[in-house]
Amino acid sequence: MSENRQVPALCTWIENGPDESWTLQVDLPASSIPAEAAPEDGQEIFVDLNGVTNRRNVPGGIMVRRPAGDEGGDSVDGAGATRYSIELAVPRGYRGALRFLPVPRGLQVADRPTWLDVLAKGFVPTGDHGLRTVTDMRRKQVLELAAPDARPLNWTGGARAGAGTSGREEEGRSDVDEQVITLGSSPRRTWIHRPQRGPASAPVLIVFDGERFIRGGLLTGIDELVSPPSAVIAIDHAPVGEGGLDEDAAVGQRADDLVMNPRFCDDVLALVRRTAPDVKARTIVAGASYGGLAAAFFSLRHPEAFRGICLSPSFWESDDQGRRIWDLGPSRSDDRSDGTDGESESHESEPLEAVAHPTFRVDHGTLETVIADSVAEATEEFAARGIDIVSRPFVGGHEYLWWRELMLVRLAEVLAE
């Protein structure tokens, strides 16, 4: 009878041997698909498992529809119900985000506009699926999936399975000062937090994509550190104009800010000096993706003032003159001005001290091949210039679930030095 049917798990891990990849079986009951996301005629469901499936091989992520075993089975959430299934090979130690996407039937390779449209319609299943729901960098809900042998999360793994972690508990904190400050070419929101236990002499922490990491619990984690930074400055990238926040311009502004922009770097340095004028320790600057690239650039441009935490850094990028990140070390005589009127405040600040040694830490995913290859290339190029960096891999893709954990891990390490 239907009441005795065993409900299949959403995700089942199958062991293939100690040195072999896991087989992940995903079974999505049709009844757990939100009504607004139900596939229409001419659509299939793609399982979006970060770093494992991708838009360049859409058929590799298409789930097979398995009809109900009895009449009316679509309404029964048991073994006989209609469901969508797929088996995937997943590396040992994997951790990453899982979503489901309705895609056009027969799609083989999706161009970027098509994929962005598909991503906007992605969903997580309803009901009790035993996985933690997290709001990602794009403010989309995802499920956090970890292989049985994945490294445990020390800082961001506390919520029970199935509990939502939108980060809204971080909003409205009385100990966070939100301001609109002009940095680089535009005004934007910043959040300044001074941890109660932060020593006055401790470094300042700069965080790019500030809103996203604050929502992910960054400030709560920082407050739990044995010796927190003296201040946290979280920087957003969406411009603020007369009409308010311009979210449509955020992507372009973020790239302008973070892709090796000298003016933005110098303006942030001036902001640090205004916020914490008595702190002598080098400021820690942390970011992911383009933010990781900027963290390295800040350390190279002002090694006496900054040290970096670089998570999945976009070392493949070039600046507006075609230079790669390793071409911008402190031995080069880069112009401090962008050649336009209205130079940033820091252009009038005191002369730079003798060149210090650039210092930054790098983490990247084993499944984000473009980033991993560019990190390997950068490591060799930096070594040839006398700058030694050690990159540490994590098993995953271009992954916010790893970034928000590793930002706190690396911050604790730097502060303990």
Show which of 124, 139, 165 is a domain's final residue: 165
Domain count, the chain: 2
Please report the pLDDT score of residue 68 as a whole number: 73
Please report the pLDDT score of residue 19 as a whole number: 86
If one compares 270 and 68, the residue with the highest pLDDT of the two is 270
CATH of the domain at 118: 2.60.40.10
Q: Specify if 271 maps to a domain.
A: yes
Mean pLDDT of 155-159: 73
How many distinct helices (H) and strands (E) make up the chain?
A: 8, 18
**199 and 272 together in one domain:** yes
Please report the pLDDT score of residue 3 as a whole number: 40
Nearest CA-CA partner of 394 in 363, 362, 361, 373:
363
Mean pLDDT of 138-165: 80
**331 and 406 together in one domain:** yes
Nearest CA-CA partner of 136 in 170, 95, 171, 97:
97
Q: Specify if 411 maps to a domain.
A: yes
Write the pLDDT tens digit of every residue in 372-390: 999 999 999 999 999 999 8
Given strand 132-135, what is the order of strands in its sheet?
43-49, 95-104, 141-146, 132-135, 164-165
Write the pLDDT tens digit of every residue in 73-103: 444 444 456 899 999 999 999 999 999 999 9
Q: Specify if 388 maps to a domain.
A: yes
Please report the pLDDT score of residue 24 as a whole number: 98
**36 and 121 together in one domain:** yes
**120 and 177 together in one domain:** no
Residue whose token pair is 């030095």: 417
Q: Quick one: which H or E segment has residue 143?
A: strand 141-146
171-180, 236-245, 306-315: least confident range: 171-180
Which one-letter amino acid corresponds to residue 400?
Y
**133 and 225 together in one domain:** no
Please report the pLDDT score of residue 164 as a whole number: 46
Q: Specify if 2 maps to a domain.
A: no
The pLDDT-based confidence of 146 (bands split at 50, 70, 90) is: very high
Q: Which two tokens stand for residue 259?
A: 């892709």
The pLDDT-based confidence of 315 (bands split at 50, 70, 90) is: very high
Which one-letter amino acid corresponds to residue 166?
S
**248 and 268 together in one domain:** yes
Residue 232 pLDDT more than 70? yes
Model's pTM, two decimal places? 0.88
**148 and 203 together in one domain:** no
Show which of 150, 165, 180 is a domain's final residue: 165
CATH of the domain at 236: 3.40.50.1820
Beta-ladder partners of 310: 287, 362
**109 and 132 together in one domain:** yes
**330 and 211 together in one domain:** yes
**206 and 272 together in one domain:** yes
**CB neighbours of residue 119 within 10 Å:** 15
Write the pLDDT tens digit of every residue in 3-62: 433 446 899 999 998 889 999 999 999 999 999 999 999 999 999 999 999 999 999 999
**291 and 265 together in one domain:** yes
Show which of 148, 165, 182 is a domain's final residue: 165
Instruction: Give the integer Cα–Cα distance in Å for 153 and 406.
Output: 9
Q: Specify if 1 maps to a domain.
A: no
Please report the pLDDT score of residue 161 as a whole number: 45
Domain that holds residue 134: 8-165
Percent of the chain with pLDDT over 90: 75
